[in-house]
């Protein structure tokens, strides 16, 4: 791996780093290996038991995981122990509530029952192969039967436990730290339900199954002895209720499940919802994905993503619903005709439009939105002859619905966001908790995890560390081994006090390498080169416990989409 200017020989994976930059001997954030208990296995060709359930249960598996035991083995909070003959010990700040963790798009492992293989949630090596070979993503494409609601070929198995990546959407960090954080705040591991789902399907479809799973989880938890014990140290000793912790698309599922789902009493049994980077009004990135390849050749991963995305109702549900299309002095929302023009599916766009109309004006009980800020984020677009051009600015309206203008010209505002979802789309109200974190890292960053802990404990949240404000990180989607590329840091005047490193993901032995930051007009930049194909993590650390991270995929430069 090479950072900075000059040339450097390409090395094989795992070989020592040589060149102008010395390896970090004591990295601030060394790679960690998380060891999980092995899944129980059945006699069915080594397939985890979650995928070989009896026929009666199997009918539910297209959407629902087996939920008779916790998915992960993490220690829960401890109850107070009274000393004999003395006052009680310090009471624990653990909740008696039942928590449901809902991941975002790409955040659930998917298993193909016909091919007997995991098709999403792959190791970094298999992930690169999936994005760069002709049939690598073929099994993820929705079939005609699946579009008509005949499900069962693909089953969600668990939340993502290895880093994922997709063009435009970029990196998706695993959910192990989020689940660990939640589990530390509850009375027993059985209080936590991880809800993997088939993110290719529509939000409405998955929301119905989420509502059913949440109801069953709450009823099961209320019968648990740890629930009874936990109530004794809580105000009014109230019965446990539901708390949803939802990342990205998972927040849309939760909103639909609680407002238009089949269980009309579910919202009343919900104490609160914490969303992390949820695109309540959609994201321009979804339009860019569907438009990939219009007007110019693109690297193969982007072409692969577009051919997959056009079949996915879930991706169409993430299209922006706010006025974002600029046509001279007019700013309007995307229409189904626009979606077809830019490369999407008109029928899926019509269904999505009706779905979002049903959510208009809906709110979440006890909602707290955690939003990413300060990251360069696509916020608006133009559409000319079927080609989308995205911009990092948006438009605002007065209370009477009129557009803010300057002499008839719409005023433009850069509100930034988390790199995928712009700030004003990530909350249903003006009240939000901001963190300078990338979209994928909102479900992993230390500061965000403190917000999760605070929310579950019902303590007052005092806001993010102020030193984190204003920092942003931009990296390319896809790079070529041995070729220089540029990463950029926004919101910093000097590289003093900053450390930027690049390391390969998934090797277990990679040593982070420092990237030499330098001033480049009103931002910082670093020239970087990686030695081999693979998945790489870029980390920007300012020493304030809120490091920024983003994932970059490296592959051969001769891969061009058809």
- Cβ atoms within 10 A of the Cβ of 411, count? 11
Whether 116 and 167 share a structural domain: yes
Within-domain flag for 82: yes
For 311-331, write each residue's pLDDT tens digit.
Answer: 999 999 999 999 999 998 999
Q: Is residue 115 part of a domain?
A: yes
Distance separating alpha carbons of residues 37 and 39, to the nearest angstrom: 6
Q: Is residue 481 part of a domain?
A: no
Distance separating alpha carbons of residues 324 and 287, to the nearest angstrom? 11
Predicted local confidence at residue 394, as pLDDT: 97
- How many domains are contained in the chain? 2
338 and 384 co-located in one domain: yes
- Going by C-alpha positions, the residue among 213, 223, 246 that lies closest to residue 443 is 246
- DSSP for 399-467? TTSPBPEETTEEP-B---BBSSSBGGGS-SSS--EEE---TGGGGT-HHHHHHHHHHHHTPPP----GG
Boundary residue ending a domain (365, 400, 433): 433
Q: How many CA atoms lie within 13 A of 481 on its CB side?
A: 18
Clarify whether residues 177 and 292 are in a common domain: no
Pairing verdict, β 192-194 and 98-102: parallel
Of 229, 255, 276, the one marking the end of a domain is: 276
Residue 166 and residue 305 in contact, taking contact as beta carbons nearer than 8 Å: yes
Please indicate, yes or no, whether residues 157 and 295 belong to a single structural domain of this protein.
Answer: no
Kindly report the pTM of this predicted structure. 0.72
In a domain, 239, yes or no: yes
Report the distance separating Cα 71 and Cα 179, nearest Å: 10
Q: How far is CA 497 from CA 334, 452, 467, in A?
A: 43, 28, 12
Whole-number pLDDT of residue 208: 96
Last residue of a domain, one of 219, 251, 276: 276
Are residues 256 and 349 located together in one domain of the fold?
A: no
Distance in angstroms (rounded) separating the CA atoms of residues 106 and 128: 15
Question: Largest Cα–Cα distance in the chain?
Answer: 81
Q: Are residues 254 and 386 in the same domain?
A: no
C-alpha 452/C-alpha 181 separation (Å) is: 7
Euclidean distance between CA atoms 76 and 196, whole angstroms:
21
Q: What local confidence, expressed as pLDDT, does residue 103 receive?
A: 97
Together in a domain, 256 and 320: no
Burial level of 221, CB count in 10 A (0-12/13-18/19+)?
Answer: buried
The angle subtended at Cα 534 by Cα 529 and Cα 287, nearest 5°, is 90
pLDDT string in tens for the chain (562-residue length): 544 444 334 344 444 333 333 343 333 333 333 333 343 333 333 333 333 333 333 334 444 544 444 455 666 765 544 445 556 667 778 899 999 999 999 899 999 999 999 988 877 777 777 777 777 788 899 999 998 889 999 999 999 888 877 777 777 789 999 999 999 999 999 999 999 999 999 999 999 999 999 999 999 999 999 999 999 888 878 899 999 999 999 999 999 999 988 888 999 999 999 999 999 999 999 999 999 856 445 555 667 778 888 999 999 999 999 999 999 899 999 999 999 999 999 999 999 999 999 999 899 999 999 999 999 999 999 999 999 999 999 999 998 889 999 999 999 999 999 999 999 999 998 779 999 999 988 998 888 999 999 999 873 333 444 334 567 898 988 888 888 999 999 888 777 778 899 988 877 656 788 888 888 888 889 999 998 888 898 998 877 667 888 888 888 876 544 4
Q: Is the dihedral of CA 258, 264, 266, 269 positive or negative?
A: positive
pLDDT given at position 25: 37
Buried b (16+ CB within 10 A) or exposed e, 48-65: bebbbbeeeeeebbbbbb
Secondary element (H or E) of residue 231: helix 225-231
Quick one: 225 and 346 in the same domain? Answer: no
Q: Kindly write down the DSSP assignment for every residue of 440-453, as one continuous string.
A: GGGGT-HHHHHHHH
The reply to whether 78 and 169 lie within a common domain is: yes
Q: Say whether 131 sits in a helix, a strand or coil.
A: helix
558 in a domain, yes or no?
no
What spatial distance separates the first Cα and last Cα of the chain, rounded to whole Å? Answer: 30
Q: Which of 558, 501, 508 is nearest to 530 (CA)?
A: 501
Rounded Cα distance, 145 and 142, in Å: 8
Which of 141, 170, 159, 143 has its CA nearest to residue 71?
159
Beta strand pairing status for 270-276 and 242-247? parallel
What domain range is 306 assigned to?
284-433
With residue 514 as reference, give the H or E element that holds it: strand 513-514
337 and 233 within one domain: no
Instruction: Judge if 214 and 297 occupy the same domain.
Output: no
Complete edge-to-edge strand list for the sheet that includes strand 478-479: 478-479, 548-554, 534-541, 499-504, 513-514
Residue 48, beta-bridge partner list: 41
Residue 507 inside a domain? The answer is: no
Whole-number pLDDT of residue 20: 36
| CA separation for the pair 426, 438 (Å, rounded) | 13
Q: Are residues 198 and 53 located together in one domain of the fold?
A: yes
């Amino acid at each position: 791996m090479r950072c900075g200017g000059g040339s450097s020989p390409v090395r094989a994976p795992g070989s020592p780093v040589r060149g102008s930059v010395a390896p970090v001997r004591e990295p601030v954030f060394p790679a960690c290996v998380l060891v999980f208990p092995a899944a129980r296995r059945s006699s069915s060709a080594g397939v985890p038991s979650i995928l070989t359930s009896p026929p009666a249960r199997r009918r539910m598996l297209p959407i629902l995981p087996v939920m008779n035991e916790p998915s992960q083995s993490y220690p829960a909070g401890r109850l107070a122990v009274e000393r004999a003959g003395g006052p009680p010990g310090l009471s624990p700040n653990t909740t008696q509530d039942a928590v449901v963790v809902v991941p975002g798009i790409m955040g659930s492992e998917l298993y193909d029952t016909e091919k007997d293989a995991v098709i999403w949630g792959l190791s970094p090596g298999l992930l690169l192969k999936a994005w760069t070979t002709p049939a690598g993503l073929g099994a993820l494409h929705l079939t005609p039967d699946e579009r008509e609601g005949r499900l069962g070929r693909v089953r969600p198995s668990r939340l993502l436990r290895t880093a994922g990546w997709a063009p435009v959407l970029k990196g998706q960090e695993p959910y192990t730290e989020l689940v660990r954080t939640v589990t530390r705040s509850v009375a027993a591991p059985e209080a936590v339900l991880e809800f993997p789902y088939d993110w290719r399907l529509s939000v409405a479809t998955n929301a119905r199954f989420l509502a059913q799973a949440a109801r069953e989880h709450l009823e099961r938890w209320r019968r648990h002895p740890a629930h009874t014990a936990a109530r004794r140290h809580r105000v009014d000793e109230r019965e446990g209720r539901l708390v949803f912790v939802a990342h990205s698309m998972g927040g849309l599922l939760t909103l639909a499940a609680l407002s238009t789902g089949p269980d009309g009493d579910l919202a009343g049994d919900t104490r609160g919802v914490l969303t992390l980077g949820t695109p309540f009004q959609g994201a321009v990135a979804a339009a860019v994905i569907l438009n990939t390849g219009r007007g110019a050749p693109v690297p193969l991963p982007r072409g692969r993503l577009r051919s997959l995305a056009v079949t996915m109702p879930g991706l169409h549900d993430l299209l922006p619903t706010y006025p974002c299309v600029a046509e001279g002095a007019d700013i309007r929302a995307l229409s189904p005709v626009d979606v077809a023009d830019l490369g999407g599916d008109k029928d899926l766009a019509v269904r999505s439009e009706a779905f979002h109309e049903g959510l208009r004006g809906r709110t979440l009980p006890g909602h707290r939105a955690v939003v990413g800020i300060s990251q360069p984020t696509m916020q608006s677009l133009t559409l000319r002859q079927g080609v989308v051009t995205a911009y990092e600015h948006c438009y605002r309206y007065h209370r009477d619905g009129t557009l803010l203008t300057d002499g008839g010209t719409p005023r433009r505002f850069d509100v930034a966001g988390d790199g995928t979802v712009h700030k004003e789309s990530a909350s249903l109200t003006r009240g939000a908790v901001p963190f300078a974190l990338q979209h994928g890292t909102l479900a992993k960053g230390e500061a965000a995890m403190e917000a999760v802990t605070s929310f579950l404990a019902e303590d007052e949240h005092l806001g993010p560390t102020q030193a984190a404000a204003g920092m942003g990180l931009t990296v390319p989607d896809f790079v070529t081994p041995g070729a220089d590329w540029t990463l950029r840091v926004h919101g910093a005047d000097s590289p003093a006090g900053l450390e930027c490193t690049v390391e390969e993901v998934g090797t277990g032995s990679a040593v982070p390498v420092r990237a030499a930051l330098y001033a480049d007009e009103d931002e910082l930049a670093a020239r970087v080169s990686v030695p081999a194909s693979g998945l790489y993590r870029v980390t920007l650390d300012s020493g304030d416990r809120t490091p920024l991270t983003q994932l970059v995929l490296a592959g051969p430069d001769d891969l061009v989409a058809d």
